[in-house]
Chain A
Amino acid sequence: MSLSELTGRWKAFSYGFLDPSAKRELRRKMIKAVAVPGCQMPYASREVPIARGWGTGGLQVTLTLVKPASVVKVIDQGADDSVNAASIRRFLSRVSGASETWDTLDATLIQSRHRIPEERLSRDQILILQVPNPEPLRGVEPNMSTARQMHADADYGRMWLQLYEQMVRSGRVMLGASYPAMVNGRHVMTPSPIPRWDVKKLHMAEHLTILSAGREKRIFAVPPHTRVEPLVFDDVPYKVEDHANLTCARSGVTGYFMNEIPQEDGSAGYEVSDSHFGIKAIDARDGGTPTVGQTWYKNGELA
């Protein structure tokens, strides 16, 4: 076997930016990630032309899956039009020829930073979450090797203790985002810093979710119809953010996850976090007929 036999034909540019060997490695790891839901699989994490920590993990997964017929949606905290989301989306379409969309219903690949869209995802869609810190045990065990051993032993006692201490100290669990969740009854994962509002959308979902941390070089997945149960005590039910009665100041929708906008008088205004969902509501109010999908939450309650 000589090097020239192993080398492919010269190309000015690899389709989808990543070279074929990077894609093959990601494919092998995605297979194992789907087979053991919620278990962090190490991978090489190649360089991509954005800084680590800005969505490189999600980007590598999307670049491996993308094809010219793909329709990509990229959101950053629910917004399609933030600089990070717009840049990643434009990069994806430039290197792959895939179409871009803001509409959750049209997308085949949805790369997201820290939100799951309000409209339900279907079985033909793949959600790719960017993960800054894939290790749910980091707060209680800084040593990665020890944390891996704890996952191997399903030893989550300190995780529970941390939750208990927060209850004792503050009267409630003091975790806004990244609420730890037990996947398939075996591995505790961090669902990436999605709000508590979104964690329940992963439980027995129709769609496949792939979570990838580029800087930390870990990939894990939640297949469709897989149990994702937030860690809660029997007598203290899981609580999502208290957004059920908030109304978006721009679109007028009520009962979805909101961004808090500080006002000049010191009070708080709210606007819906899923920006394109808000755009659809404004379009409908102005006499348009946008196609709005089924939502996970109805009147602020999980349907």
Chain B
Amino acid sequence: MLATPLPDAEEIRDNATFEAVLGALSRPGTVRDLPDPGPLCIALALLDRECKVHSQDETLSARIVATGAALVPAPEADHVFMAAASAEALEVIARLDTGSHLYPDDGATLIVPAKIGEGQALQLTGPGIKSVERVCLDGIHPGFWALRARLCAYPRGIEVLIHDGARLLALPRSTTVTEV
């Protein structure tokens, strides 16, 4: 009889992180709990040698390099870790890869910090939402939402994972965001 295999600490963390990411993406507007605060657990659950990553945080960059992922300029990256609080940040985000109609999966995943529950009120509709979801987000530049709408010319677009400590909210490209 084989012994029941047990997950190690990394497997438990990666599994829990992805459960949160998948839950948040399939129900935009719902807040899920990450196993650890910050974007590092998201990076570790998703990234390896096959990935091209842009990160604007030096400590995080060092950990990302250790996964084998390549650090590249933002327009070439498939995963982008940065804040979206400034006008300069929006210029970088405007040039992210949004995939193509042939391969929508080439669109980048943007991982940004924000305060969930305060600030700009947003109304969300789209797949994963029964009627309408409302969320409030602070720490994101007011121009971001118009920019996101421009980038998300469905089925092209980017996924936005928003983390606030150990809380996670996700906006897939299929979600329509209206400022209220």
Contact = CB atoms under 8 A, between A and B. Distances in A.
Interface of A: 1, 5-6, 8, 11, 13, 15-16, 20-21, 23-25, 27-37, 39, 41-42, 64-65, 67-68, 94-97, 123, 148-149, 152-153, 184, 186-187, 208, 221, 223-227
Contact of B105 (A5, A36, A153, A187): A36
Contacts of A153: 101
Given A24-B48, A34-B25, A35-B159, A67 B12 contact: yes
The listed residue with most B CB atoms (<10 A of its CB), out of A20, A35, A36, A227, is A35
B65 interface: yes
A28 B128 contact: no
Interface stretch (B13-21, B89-97, B112-120): B13-21
5 contacts: A8-B10, A20-B14, A25-B48, A36-B104, A64-B18
Contacts of A34: 22, 25-26, 128, 172
A163 B34 CA distance: 46
Contact size class for B? 35 or more
The B interface, classified by DSSP as helix, strand, loop or mixed, is: loop
Given A24-B48, A97-B6, A225-B129, A65 B19 contact: yes
B172 to A, nearest CB: 4
B149 interface: no
B128 A225 contact: yes
A24 B27 contact: no
Interface in B1-41: 2, 4-8, 10-12, 14-16, 18-19, 21-22, 25-27
B65 A1 contact: yes
Interface string B126-155: 011110000000000000000000000011
B68 interface: yes
Given A27-B46, A67-B7, A32 B102 contact: no
B7 A32 contact: no
A32 B98 CA distance: 12
Contacts of A64: 18
A20 B11 contact: yes
A152 B174 contact: no
Interface of B: 2, 4-8, 10-12, 14-16, 18-19, 21-22, 25-27, 45-51, 65-68, 78, 100-102, 104-105, 107, 109, 127-130, 154-155, 157, 159, 172-174
B137 to A, nearest CB: 19
The listed residue with most A CB atoms (<10 A of its CB), out of B16, B21, B130, B174, is B174
Contacts of A187: 155
Nearest to B79: A28
Contact of B104 (A25, A39, A224): A39
B8 A27 contact: no
Contacts of A224: 26-27, 128, 130
A149 B109 CA distance: 24
A64 to B, nearest CB: 8
Given A96-B5, A152-B101, A208-B22, A21 B127 contact: no
B174 A35 contact: yes
Nearest to B100: A152
Contact of B8 (A15, A123, A227): A15
B105 A29 contact: yes
A158 B54 CA distance: 42
A31 B48 contact: no
Contacts of A13: 5
A34 B174 CA distance: 9
Contacts of B10: 8, 20
A23 B15 CA distance: 9
Contacts of A23: 14
Contacts of B128: 34, 223-226
B171 to A, nearest CB: 9
B168 to A, nearest CB: 12
Given A20-B10, A24-B45, A225 B130 contact: yes
Contacts of B174: 35-37, 184, 223
